[in-house]
Structure 1
Amino acid sequence: MNKEEKKQELAARAAWMYYVAGLTQQEIAQSLGLSRQVAQRLVSTAREQGMVSVKIAHPVTHCLALAQALSAKFGLTLCRVVPSGQLDDDAVQQMLAVEGAEVMSQFISEDTPQTFGIGSGKTLRAIIDALPWTERPQHHCVSMIGAIARDDSGTRYDVPLKMAEKMQGKYFFIPAPLYADSPDDREMWCRHQVYQRVTQRALNASVIFLGIGEVSPGCPLNAEGFITDQQVSDLQSKGAAGEMLGHFFNQQGERIYSELDALLTSVPLEANTTRNIIGFAGGERKFAAIRAAVAGRWVNGLVTDEATANRLLSL
């Protein structure tokens, strides 16, 4: 047994102690002869690697009612609401990960070959981490967004690849940066035959899973080096409230255009979509973006939290 296998064995042992036996992390540390910090990391590793699958069989009636009301108000064909109460954004994301994985699993369980269009971001990555490993090699994952930053580095949230690994299926990625260096450079990337074949796959995807991003200093696009501080400021001055795949929109869900649009290489999106697009987002920080996404009907499916749902319905 190599070092990595030993680490996974230890993580699985810690998961059994924590989730099944109900031991605290301190008790696990004492039992395994480790520090509390190492025990905590082992439990987290077990969760992230899909060793732990959480399923709560009894729904929260209030959340079901909220989901039905959101569907009626915003024309959603799928809506799930997780209980959030006064939880902070990090705790909400953990709950979204569990519910999001349940939603994705319903599509993955199909025997008929499916093509899943996948965005990027922390929320989607957390959902993929929560997905159980399954054998569905007939399914394909295709990226909806170029993952090369301005400094030529790759994003840390390569979600489609991770999802394909969990299903043991194929992964197709867009061979381009999210934003090209110039309009001519964008034209060069987008003319490439591989780019055109992959984007066509994405446009024909059975279902698309996307995160909904906020627009503010330090937001994911800014933190990952895709857009500059000045570009964030310019977008905010135009009223940008949210984005999906680099497409920016205001509070009413109307598309906002900037210098970035002449450089954007991601798969096209449009408001009032008729495509099967499910958005995953929640928490106070993302409320304005979620409100804009559903107002413009950029998504027809939504997985969000209770507090966000209540605010959306009170508008």
Structure 2
Amino acid sequence: MSKQQEKLDQAARAAWMYYVANNTQHEIADHLGISRQMAQRLVAYAVEQGLVRVSVQHEITDCLALAEQMKARFGLSLCRVVPAGGESEGLRRMLAVAGAEVMTQFLQSEAPIVVNLGSGRTLKAVIDELAEIDRPQHRIVSMVGAIATDGASNRYDVALRTAEKTGSKYFMLPAPLIADSAEDCRQWCSHRVYRVVSELSAHADVTFIGIGSVGPGCPLEEDGFLSKEEIGQLVSEGAAGEIIGHAVNHEGHPLSSPITDRVTSLQLPTAADRPVIAFAGGASKHSALNAALRGRWLSGLVTDEESARQALALTG
């Protein structure tokens, strides 16, 4: 056994004693024959390595009520609302934990399924929270280009990580998220492998996506997919947000623009056809989330209290 494996085993043992058996750090130290400081570090290491997953069984009444209102107002078949958390990493973690629970319901299927995945920070956090589950019969499809503008791998393409956690087959979209020109986009999208992946995606059993803001400093600009000037152009043309790279206006309709003509991402299935579930929250996502809800792109949503309240108030 390697030293790394020994450390993980020791950390897991400490985590079981602390979180399940309710032992104190002093008791853990005595039982394992280590110092209290080492026991404390082992418990922290277990959390850091993802060995500990928190599940809160009692759902907050206000959150349950908001979820039901969101389902009724926007025709959602599934909605989870987590407590408000501002713009903190804590909010993203809450969304990730709730999102992983929702995603697991589908991934646990014994029957083979095709799973579409978008990209983005929140969706990546959801995947990080997923427990490993052996499902080699599933097929995982990336709906966004796996190549960044500079030729590097898109670090927020989460499909490969999901395939690794499930042992599923992974289908990569062989294109950059945004091509250099509309003609270049047509060439990427006419590639044989692109068409094969597109056809598989069109028959997916479920789709999981994030929702992106469009504005100064948004992820599309921060990650180098579009310039500051191009983001400004999209805003001036009425962009409220983006869904897997496709810009939508405030009513949720696809935005027609020379920039959107360069997006290679696959098309979302109709929400009424098969489940399309989004994970999004925080004030910076309000405009984009409202647009996605108005456009009826979603059949499921995991969001936070503040986002749900403002969506309901804005459409009331």
Asked if TM exceeds 0.5, the reply is yes
Q: What secondary structure does 2:175 align onto?
A: coil
2:17, 2:239 → 1: CA distance?
47
Letter in 2 for 1:140: R
2:157, 2:16 → 1: CA distance?
29
1:52-88 superposed Cα distances (whole Å, 9 cap, x missing partner): 232222222221111111111111111111122x544
1:23, 1:226 → 2: CA distance?
49
1:67, 1:104 → 2: CA distance?
17
Alignment-derived partner of residue 49 in structure 2: 46
2:156, 2:6 → 1: CA distance?
26
Distance of aligned partners of 1:87 and 1:169 in 2 relative to their CA distance in 1, 3 Å threshold: same
TM-score of the aligned structures, taking structure 2 as reference length: 0.88
**Superposition pairs of residues 1-315 of structure 1, within 5 angstroms:** 1-2=1-2, 4-6=4-6, 8-9=8-9, 12=12, 15-16=15-16, 19-20=19-20, 21=22, 31=36, 33=38, 42-47=45-50, 51-84=51-84, 87-269=86-268, 274-315=273-314
1:167-213 superposed Cα distances (whole Å, 9 cap, x missing partner): 11111110111111223322221121111001111111100000000
1:225, 1:87 → 2: CA distance?
26
Q: Report the Cα offset of residue 101 of structure 1.
A: 0.5
Letter in 2 for 1:65: A
1:133, 1:281 → 2: CA distance?
23
* Ranges in structure 1 where 5+ consecutive residues have no aligned partner: none
2:213, 2:286 → 1: CA distance?
8
Letter in 1 for 2:49: A
1:205, 1:13 → 2: CA distance?
40
Contact 1:53 1:131 (C-alpha < 8 Å) held by counterparts: no
Q: What secondary structure does 2:265 align onto?
A: coil
* Ranges in structure 2 where 5+ consecutive residues have no aligned partner: none
Q: What secondary structure does 1:106 align onto?
A: helix
Contact 1:123 1:280 (C-alpha < 8 Å) held by counterparts: yes
Contact 2:182 2:258 (C-alpha < 8 Å) held by counterparts: no
1:22, 1:253 → 2: CA distance?
52
Q: Report the Cα offset of residue 223 of structure 1.
A: 1.4
Contact 1:272 1:296 (C-alpha < 8 Å) held by counterparts: no
Q: What secondary structure does 1:101 align onto?
A: helix
Between the two proteins, the alignment pairs up a number of residues equal to: 307
1:88, 1:258 → 2: CA distance?
30
2:257, 2:91 → 1: CA distance?
32
Distance of aligned partners of 1:121 and 1:13 in 2 relative to their CA distance in 1, 3 Å threshold: farther
2:221, 2:242 → 1: CA distance?
12
Q: Report the Cα offset of residue 130 of structure 1.
A: 0.8
Q: CA RMSD in A?
A: 2.6
1:184, 1:23 → 2: CA distance?
64
1:11-48 superposed Cα distances (whole Å, 9 cap, x missing partner): 53564476445879xx9997354997x985x355322x
1:248, 1:290 → 2: CA distance?
12
Contact 2:269 2:276 (C-alpha < 8 Å) held by counterparts: no
Distance of aligned partners of 1:147 and 1:33 in 2 relative to their CA distance in 1, 3 Å threshold: same
2:36, 2:246 → 1: CA distance?
51
Q: Report the Cα offset of residue 254 of structure 1.
A: 2.2
Contact 1:98 1:130 (C-alpha < 8 Å) held by counterparts: yes
Q: What secondary structure does 2:242 align onto?
A: strand
Q: What secondary structure does 2:259 align onto?
A: helix
1:203-229 superposed Cα distances (whole Å, 9 cap, x missing partner): 111000000001122222211111111
1:113-172 superposed Cα distances (whole Å, 9 cap, x missing partner): 111000111111111111111111111110010021111111222311111111111111
Bigger Rg, which one: 2
Contact 2:14 2:39 (C-alpha < 8 Å) held by counterparts: no
Q: Report the Cα offset of residue 274 of structure 1.
A: 3.6
Contact 1:240 1:248 (C-alpha < 8 Å) held by counterparts: yes
Contact 2:247 2:260 (C-alpha < 8 Å) held by counterparts: no
1:3, 1:193 → 2: CA distance?
46
Letter in 1 for 2:36: S
Q: What secondary structure does 1:213 align onto?
A: coil
